[in-house]
Amino acid sequence: MIEEIGTTTEGDMIINVGPQHPATHGVLHLVITLSGETIKKVEPHLGYIHRSIEKMCESLTYRQFSYVTSRMDYLSSHINNNACALVVEQGLQVEVPERAKVVRVLVDELTRIASHELWWGAMAMDLGAFTPFFHAFRERESINDIMEETCGARLTMNYIVPGGLMQDIHPNFQKRVKHFIQLYKSKVDEYNEMVTGNIIFQNRMKGVGILSKEDAISFGCTGPTARGSGVNCDIRKLYPYEVYHKVQFDEITETGCDSFARYMVRIREMNESIKIIEQLIDNIPEGDFQAKTKAVIKLPKGEFYQRVETARGELGVYIVSEGGTTPYRIKFRSPGFSNLSALDHMARGSKLGDLVAMMGTLDLVIPDIDR
């Protein structure tokens, strides 16, 4: 877009960040109006990876459509699949076996840790520290290995299906998860030593990208982005699904409202996920891993909405059914889309160099935003 490069009538400079920029973590295009080095306006241009998943799902059956959602927020694909399975089960009024529910929570929480690990490594790399990326990927790799063994995939899992699970867990699952917990616990102090306590890192993060509590709610921010501003928005606590009401964990909030607060929420949240996994890993009930459902699912006429907490915030799946085998209309309320809308507000008045720190703590995944 040639006309977007140049200067405005007030003499401000317009620059483009992206779509192919390493700090945008994908193909996000930002058109930034600068006065000197101060940001006056940030305008996101989306759609570089838009696949029209909502329209595509209108011609897919209720068994097929959740496979597409793994490609939305690919870092929390289990949680996306879980949301789709829950909304179909809500329409069918099917009771899922306890074993499936517990395994679902286990894989959801492992996914959350894997996602936060990747975010942490990429975040540090954005700010100029290269080594943490390798440390994060070392632990993330062992989660991927567990997933590979049980689900047969490392990224787009498609393990959670309407009615329960695709197949039973691998016999090694419990052993390997326990091994991962040990590994994680021995490394988490290393993370804090290397990055969190680092004075250069803290100076780059503190007081950067202020988002007040009222603004966070008004912009529809969710997940760690909003919890860094003190908003209680964890769907796992507020509207529990699966077995979240039976496990003990804390909803992490910080009151700093800046990038450092959002960073701390994610770091502390990983420990809460470990707590959930520890409570459940030895208590997986025996029994079926799948409820009996018909091969061709037909949802009754009506509207169904399911909210879940992904690693980035609240995901909503809204299905309008006309009684057939495919949805009449489907809407995915993705967390990244709303979180990104606050970027312009956060960035105004700060320096261009700080924009990377803000984008890093929003934890943007572009396929999730574009859908």
Token pair listed for 332: 């995915």
What is d(CA 160, CA 162) in angstroms, rounded to the nearest whole number? 7
Per CB under 8 A, which region of 14-22, 71-79, 210-218, 263-271 contacts another protein?
210-218
Nearer residue to another protein within complex by CB, 165 or 369: 369
Nearer to another protein, 74 or 239 (CB): 239
Residues 334 to 353 in contact with another protein, rule: CB under 8 A: 337-338, 340-342, 345
DSSP 185-196: HHHHHHHIIIII
How far, rounded to the nearest angstrom, does the alpha carbon of residue 346 sit from its chain's CA centroid? Answer: 20
Q: Which is nearer to another protein, 45 or 176 (CB)?
A: 45
- Using CB under 8 A as the binding rule, whether residue 59 contacts another protein is answered as yes
Structure tokens at 355: 């924009």
> Is residue 231 at the binding interface for another protein, with CB under 8 A as the rule?
yes
Cα separations in angstroms, 205 against 15, 160, 189, 212, 341: 23, 37, 20, 16, 20
Q: Which of residues 291-320 bind another protein (CB under 8 A)?
A: 302-305, 307, 314, 316, 318, 320
Q: Is residue 144 within 8 Å of residue 114, measured between CB atoms?
A: yes
Query: Which part of the chain contacts another protein (CB under 8 A), choosing from 55-63, 113-121, 180-188, 281-289?
Result: 55-63
Beta carbon of residue 148, minimum distance to another protein (angstroms, whole number): 28
Tally helices (H) and strands (E) across the chain: 15, 11
Please pick, from the candidates 40, 176, 275, 329, the single residue that binds another protein as defined by CB under 8 A: 329
Cα–Cα distance, 298 to 218 (Å, whole number): 37
Q: Which is nearer to another protein, 363 or 370 (CB)?
A: 370
Give the C-alpha separation, 117 to 253, whole Å.
19
CA distance 360 to 259: 9
Q: Which residues pair with 290 in a beta bridge?
A: 164
Q: Choose one: 7-15, 185-193, 202-210, 226-234; the region binding another protein (CB under 8 A).
A: 226-234
Does 71 engage in binding with another protein (CB under 8 A)?
A: no
CB of 46 to another protein, least distance (A): 5
Residue 20 binding another protein, by CB under 8 A: no
* Contact call for residues 332 and 315 (beta carbons, < 8 A): yes
Cα 282–chain centre separation: 26
The residue count for binding another protein (CB under 8 A) is 40
Which one, 26 or 121, has the nearer CB to another protein?
26
Q: Provide the minimum distance between the beta carbon of 77 and another protein in the complex, in angstroms, as a whole number.
A: 20
Which one of 147-155, 195-203, 213-221, 255-263 is the stretch in contact with another protein (CB under 8 A)? 213-221
What backbone torsions phi and psi does residue 328 show, to the nearest 5 degrees?
A: -75, -40
How is residue 351 written in tokens?
């320096």
Q: What is the DSSP letter of 307?
A: E
Among 179, 232, 246, 323, binds another protein (CB under 8 A): 232
Query: CA-to-CA distance for 210 and 194, rounded, in angstroms?
Result: 25
**Which residues contact another protein by CB under 8 A?**
45-47, 50, 52, 54-56, 59-60, 90, 215, 217-220, 231-233, 238, 302-305, 307, 314, 316, 318, 320, 328-329, 331, 333, 337-338, 340-342, 345, 370
